[in-house]
Structure 1
Amino acid sequence: MLPEPMLTSPTLRTWLPPGWAGEPKWDGFRALLSLDGKVVQLSSRHGTDMTAAFPEITGGAAAQLADATLLDGELVIRDPGQLASESLHHRVRHRGADAVRAARQMPTHFVAFDVLRTTGTVTTGWSYQRRRAALESLFTARRLRAPFTLCPSATDPDQVAQWLTRRQNGIEGVVYKRLTDPYRPGVRGWLEHKPYETTQAVVGAVTGTLAAPRTLLLGRPGSDGHLHCVGRTVTLSMAVGALLGPLLAPVGTQHQWTGEACATGRGSGEITELVLVEPELVVEVAVDTARDASGRWRHPARFHRVRAELRPMHVPEFGEPDY
């Protein structure tokens, strides 16, 4: 049984505090990787066994790591110029020959950012600074190569600020880690900052009821004249739902999304109890910088306000950047 990973708490802080280190926050799957008695185990943040789904990672661990090693890191799939996090959802379902085939088509990398055990020595009680030095020494001594990548770490505020401005290469934000802190499994002892942008979209459907919507399904017009689903909101408060209800009109004879599934966001699956509305209301929302391969927002947006002065033609075109 592998330990729980140390976790993060969100922060609005955009600068690196003194006495802390910053690391990029990757757009991938958090994972713990263990080699113990020549047995490799790859576990998700929630303890799900992913060993059989990623043979290139487990094979790399067996070939390159020393026995009794435990790493914390992120699984990522690289596309030209960015990371393809949605491909990980397909990869994690494969087993056996299908997993081997998927590994050739969509190879995964393990970005290591912490070491919890090295050649049998448990390091969770060590400071971050000491664990980081041990991790760098492990990469040097073992001459680790693909599928392993050493996560960058910096105490230079300018370097950390640069990571916050990278929008298209799989960096979702930054994680701040106190140099003197031990690794505390299951504790939210690190801080995570994701940059958000405010932008506009058209309400095309809701979940819940028209009078009291629970979430908004948002769209943007494309160059083809079609309203493309771009994302959804987090669950609305009752007060916001009551505000929006009177502004939403039931759909008339036809809607562009009739018969379509508009499931967006990581793990959202198919959205049920979808109520289509006339795509007339423009709202302003806050979104982070993560996008899937089609240009949809990967994470739910936060409702900000109604933009009654705008028409659907005024919102950014589908596929255009929000910054």
Structure 2
Amino acid sequence: MTWTLPQPMLTAPVTSPDLPPGAAGEPKWDGYRAQLAHYPGGRVLLRSRQGTDMTTAFPEVREAALAQLPEDTGLDGELVVWESGRLAFERLQQRLARRRGAGAIAAAQTWPAHLVVFDLVRLEGTDLTPRPYSDRRAALEDLFASQGLTAPFTLCPSTTDPATARAWLEWTAAGLEGLCFKRLSEPYRGGARAWAKYKVRATEDAIVGAVTGPPAAPRTLLLGRYDGAGVLRYTGRTTSLARAVTRSLEGVLLPTTGGHSWAGRTFTASWGSRDVLDVTLVDPQLVVEVSVDVARDAAGRWRHPVGLHRTRPDLSAESVPPFGA
């Protein structure tokens, strides 16, 4: 091995979905950022954004790299799993939990992954990172065409047409998180937040079922919605509340006095975390409006923390849409 993959080039958030002049737009996928290297001599490395070696967890990607990619080549992209008409992020987590041997092979057969490739950092020994995005993109498209790359490799769409980029936002129901914007003239700058990312967000109503911290001064709110059987189902947790918001909730959130759907349940700090939260159940009456993105797990819960937009004392818990809506 005579070279190493560059650090991933990163994104900075923007508030507008409009494609900037002199930039290309790409869909932002709900998956794992992944870089792939096929070294001389047949060694393959698939690593995460944090540098974790994921090669053995995705044997189908390794085998495809050996069979389809030229040696001394490096790709950048997003690992995704498609299931039941949506991108299933939780399946990727399950794939990583079965990262070796027979378990990894069985998981690959059950939940096959695709690498959606959006950049080419090295091609048959030539470092492409100093070249502008437009040149790297042309080389990537040529690589797919000349090598006939097939699944699990998928070429990420790219456009310089603002209307086309806007139309991609209609894919959010299938797990598209938003758009990435990349300047056509920019080289690949590993570690730099030079790409832009627009994330689709919306506001939705939910019911406060528990809090971290004391109810009189909560730090975060745990949210739910009722299902068809009248059971309050957990949907997600807010980010830390601002001090002014905390003060406004004093006396509003009351400890539960009767049966609560979450009695005896434990909650973790984040999706996939093992850190158990210290929560206090409250009477599930307060409705809040929260800002959410489109990423959900298989159960329909918001996968990322949500932002409190405002309280809705004018709404009843019964008026909130049912769980899964």
The residue number in structure 1 matching 2:60 is 56
| Mapping 1:65-84, distance limit 5 Å | 65-84=69-88
Q: Distance in 2 between matches of 1:63 and 1:167?
A: 33
In the superposition, the TM-score normalised over structure 1's length comes to: 0.96
Instruction: Provide the residue aligned with 2:38 in structure 1.
Output: 35
- CA distance, structure 2, for counterparts of residue 205 and residue 8 of structure 1: 34
Where does 1:144-163 land on structure 2 (aligned, <5 Å)? 144-163=149-168
* Aligned equivalent of 2:241: 236
Residue in 2 aligned with 1:318?
Answer: 323
Q: Return structure 1 stretches of 4+ with deviation > 3 angstroms.
A: 261-271
* Distance in 2 (alpha carbons) for counterparts of 1:92 and 1:251: 39
Residue 137 (str. 1) matches residue 142 (str. 2): yes
SS in 1 for 2:249: helix
Match of 1:112 among 111, 117, 136: 117
Which deviates more, 67-76 or 1-10?
Answer: 1-10
Give the corresponding residue for 1:92.
96
Provide the alpha-carbon RMSD of the alignment: 1.3
Which of 5, 25, 28 is the matching residue for 1:25?
28
**Counterpart of 2:68 in structure 1: which amino acid?**
Q
Q: Is the 8 A contact 2:266 2:277 kept in 1?
A: no
> Structure 2 vs 1, CA of residues 225 and 20 (structure 1 numbering), >3 Å: closer, same or farther?
same
1:121 paired with 2:126, answer yes
Report the Cα offset of residue 228 of structure 1: 0.6
Q: Deviations over 1:199-245 (max 9, x none)?
A: 11000011122222111110001111111111111122222222223
Aligned to 2:48: 44
Alpha-carbon offset, residue 192 of structure 1: 0.5
Q: Does the aligned pair in 2 maintain the 1:264–1:297 contact within 8 Å?
A: no
Q: Distance in 2 between matches of 1:264 and 1:23?
A: 31
Shift of 1:263: 4.5
Determine if contact 1:6/1:183 at 8 Å carries over to the other structure.
yes
Structure 2 runs not aligned, ≥5 long: none
Aligned-pair CA distance for 1:269: 4.2
* Farther off after superposition, 234-243 or 6-15: 234-243
Read off the aligned partner of 1:62 and give its amino acid letter: L
Q: Does the aligned pair in 2 maintain the 1:84–1:292 contact within 8 Å? A: yes
1:49 maps to a residue whose letter is D
Within 5 A, what are the aligned runs for 1:265-280?
266-269=271-274, 271-280=276-285
Which of 1, 6, 26 in structure 2 is aligned with 1:3?
6
Q: Distance in 2 between matches of 1:120 and 1:246?
A: 66
**How much does 1:265 deviate?**
5.1
> Displacement, 1:262?
4.1
Matched, 1:216 2:224: no
Q: Distance in 2 between matches of 1:268 and 1:165?
A: 31
Match of 1:15 in 2: 18
Deviation at 1:267, TM superposition (A): 3.7
C-alpha change, 1:242 and 1:283, in structure 2 (3 Å) is: same
The whole-number CA distance in structure 2 between the counterparts of 1:4 and 1:208 is: 38
1:65 counterpart letter in structure 2:
L
- On the 8 A contact 2:175/2:294 being kept in 1, the answer is no
TM-score under structure 2 length normalisation: 0.95
Partner of 1:182, secondary structure, is coil
- The equivalent of 2:198 in structure 1 is 193
Once residues 169 and 308 of structure 1 are traced to their aligned partners in structure 2, the CA distance between those partners, rounded to angstroms, is: 33
Contact 1:207 1:214 in 2 (8 A): yes
Corresponding residue for 2:295? 290
Cα displacement string for residues 95-151 of structure 1 (whole angstroms, at most 9, x for unaligned residues): 111101110111111000001001010111110000000100111111000110000
Q: 1:183 matched to which residue of 2?
A: 188
Name the amino acid aligned to 1:39.
Answer: R
Report the CA distance shift for 1:231/1:163 in structure 2 as closer, same or farther (over 3 A): same
Count of residue pairs brought into register by the alignment: 320
